């Protein structure tokens, strides 16, 4: 009898309610008499341009497809009409964004398979088989493999742990929490042992778009015994790759006067025209969330924001507050399979790297019991800011923070 049957249908988007920030300091800043609010990366991001429906200027772009897509996790703001016809540019951006959102949903889906698409779900269903994948997915898996990160191999643990965030009541946390439940903790520790061992499980890149998810017989037996169907899952890393994918699709069509952000902390600003933007930096002090620091920047940039607390709409899919007041977030240690984070919050950015590059560089530093400051300082091409108590610690002395 298997202990944990996890051959389940994937979870779809749920209706969400906005969670208000508990702060007296957070104010919507006004630029050029109006503002736009981007609920992604737990931040306010804005440009000094008007947002008027039907007119030239910044507006939110929505997908125009009824097909399953990943746009529920993202907000795309675009300055339409700056390059010509408002109608034509808005239509072009919408078409590219809609198609990219559908493609990304399918490619990076670890649970579902789609006709004509060889994705993560297909890879999970065909271990030890040589398969050919889309160039974008191959590139993502190549980047992931080169990073040395092993968190995505915690797929079986994620398939249990993720149910923690879909409970009707925190009273049910015991069934999914590796800290509260010793049996779950032991199971996750076993999974972590396999995940960290390349001889047990590894994505082998064969070149030319071909690869194999190699899994040892011992691990396959373990997976069958526990009825796990998912082996590899980007989980909290997924939207980093999706943000980059959508950004590259837009850029490839010359559509760069915009900014895309995800609710879980990934931002790609493509706008190279020289306007100034701002990103709010959140901190948690005594259970209250403050947004009293803001990073100002100019030009294309990628941002990653990690945090250990909920504060924006959609966070109920990533955080749960237990009956004792403790909070569980999405980050599991690949070495132990237990929830962990070295800092309450960490924001990092780079004008040259993508979200996935930054997130992979930060992963072993943030998914730790304590901060390795030397390792954080050693990441090339990435700047950061975090809070030590109420004091901001920033790597860039020239950064505009106020």
Confidence of residue 402 (pLDDT cuts 50, 70, 90): confident
Mean pLDDT of the chain: 86
Task: Compare 44 and 310 and report the one with higher pLDDT.
Answer: 310
* Whether the Cβ atoms of residue 63 and residue 302 lie closer than 8 Å to each other: no
Which candidate, 321, 323, 306, places its Cα nearest to that of 364? Answer: 306
What are the tens digits of pLDDT across the range 219-276? 999 999 999 999 999 999 999 999 999 999 999 999 999 999 999 999 999 999 999 9
Q: Tell me the average pLDDT across 192-218.
A: 98
Q: Which residues share a beta bridge with 105?
A: none
Separation between Cα atoms, residue 265 and residue 253, nearest integer Å: 25
Identify the pLDDT of residue 83. Answer: 63
Residue 271, φ and ψ in degrees, nearest 5: -75, 115
- pLDDT greater than 70 at residue 25: no
Identify the pLDDT of residue 53. Answer: 42
* pTM for this prediction: 0.87
Task: Compare 266 and 5 and report the one with higher pLDDT.
Answer: 266
What six digits make up the tokens of 285?
A: 């002090």
Radius of gyration of the chain (CA): 21
* Whether the Cβ atoms of residue 42 and residue 313 lie closer than 8 Å to each other: no
314 backbone φψ class: left, alpha, beta (φ>0; ψ -120 to 50): left
Taking the alpha carbons at both ends of the chain, their separation in whole angstroms is 58
What lies within 8 Å, CB to CB, of 91 at 6+ separation is: none
Q: Tell me the average pLDDT across 345-362.
A: 97
Q: Which residues share a beta bridge with 391?
A: 388
Count of all residues that appear for the chain in the document: 402
Confidence of residue 43 (pLDDT cuts 50, 70, 90): very low
Q: Tell me the average pLDDT across 13-20.
A: 28
- Give the C-alpha distances (Å, rounded to integers) separating 98 from 74, 273, 311: 12, 24, 28
- pLDDT greater than 70 at residue 130: yes
**Which residue stretches of 319-372 are H helix?**
355-366
* Whether the Cβ atoms of residue 292 and residue 317 lie closer than 8 Å to each other: no
CATH of domain 45-105+240-401: 3.10.520.10
- pLDDT greater than 90 at residue 185: yes
Q: Tell me the average pLDDT across 116-142.
A: 98
Task: Compare 168 and 118 and report the one with higher pLDDT.
Answer: 118
What are the tens digits of pLDDT across the range 284-302? 887 788 887 889 999 999 9
Residue 386, φ and ψ in degrees, nearest 5: -150, 175
- pLDDT greater than 50 at residue 152: yes
What are the tens digits of pLDDT across the range 311-325? 877 888 899 999 999
3-state secondary structure of 398: coil
What are the tens digits of pLDDT across the range 50-81? 333 467 899 999 999 999 999 999 999 999 98
The domain spans of the chain are 45-105+240-401, 120-236
Which candidate, 155, 187, 145, places its Cα nearest to that of 2? Answer: 187
């Amino acid at each position: 009898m298997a202990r944990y049957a996890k051959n389940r249908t994937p979870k779809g988007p749920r209706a969400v309610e906005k969670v208000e920030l508990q702060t007296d300091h957070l104010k919507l800043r006004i630029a050029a008499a109006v503002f736009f609010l981007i609920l992604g990366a737990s931040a306010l991001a804005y440009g000094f341009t008007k947002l008027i429906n039907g007119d030239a200027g910044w507006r939110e772009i929505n997908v125009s497809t009824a097909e399953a897509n990943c746009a529920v996790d993202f907000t795309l703001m675009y300055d339409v009409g700056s390059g010509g016809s408002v109608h034509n540019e808005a239509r072009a951006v919408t078409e590219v964004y809609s198609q990219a959102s559908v493609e990304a949903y399918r490619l990076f889906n670890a649970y579902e398979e789609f006709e004509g698409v060889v994705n993560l779900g297909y890879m999970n269903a065909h271990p030890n088989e040589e398969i050919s994948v889309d160039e974008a997915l191959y590139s993502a898996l190549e980047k992931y493999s080169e990073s040395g990160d092993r968190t995505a191999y915690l797929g079986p643990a994620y398939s249990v742990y993720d149910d923690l965030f879909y409970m009707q009541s925190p009273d049910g946390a015991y069934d999914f929490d590796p800290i509260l439940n010793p049996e779950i903790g032991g199971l996750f520790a076993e999974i972590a042992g396999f995940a960290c061992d390349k001889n047990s499980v590894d994505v082998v890149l064969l070149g030319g778009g071909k690869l194999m998810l190699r899994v040892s017989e011992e691990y396959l037996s373990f997976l069958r015994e526990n009825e796990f169907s998912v082996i590899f899952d980007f989980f909290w890393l997924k939207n980093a790759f999706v943000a980059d994918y959508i950004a590259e699709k837009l850029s490839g069509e010359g559509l760069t006067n915009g900014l895309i952000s995800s609710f879980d902390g990934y931002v790609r600003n493509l706008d190279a025209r020289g306007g100034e933007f701002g990103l709010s930096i959140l901190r948690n002090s005594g259970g209250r969330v403050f947004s009293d620091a803001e990073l100002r920047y100019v030009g294309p940039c990628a941002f990653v924001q990690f945090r250990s607390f909920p504060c924006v709409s959609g966070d109920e899919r990533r955080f749960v507050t237990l009956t004792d007041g403790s909070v569980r977030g999405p980050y599991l240690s690949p070495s132990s399979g237990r929830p962990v984070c070295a800092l309450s919050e960490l924001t990092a950015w780079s004008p040259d790297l993508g979200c996935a590059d930054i997130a992979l560089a930060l992963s072993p530093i943030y998914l730790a019991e304590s901060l390795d400051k030397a390792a954080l300082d050693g990441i090339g091409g990435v700047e950061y800011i975090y809070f030590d108590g109420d004091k901001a610690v920033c790597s860039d002395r020239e950064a505009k923070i106020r």
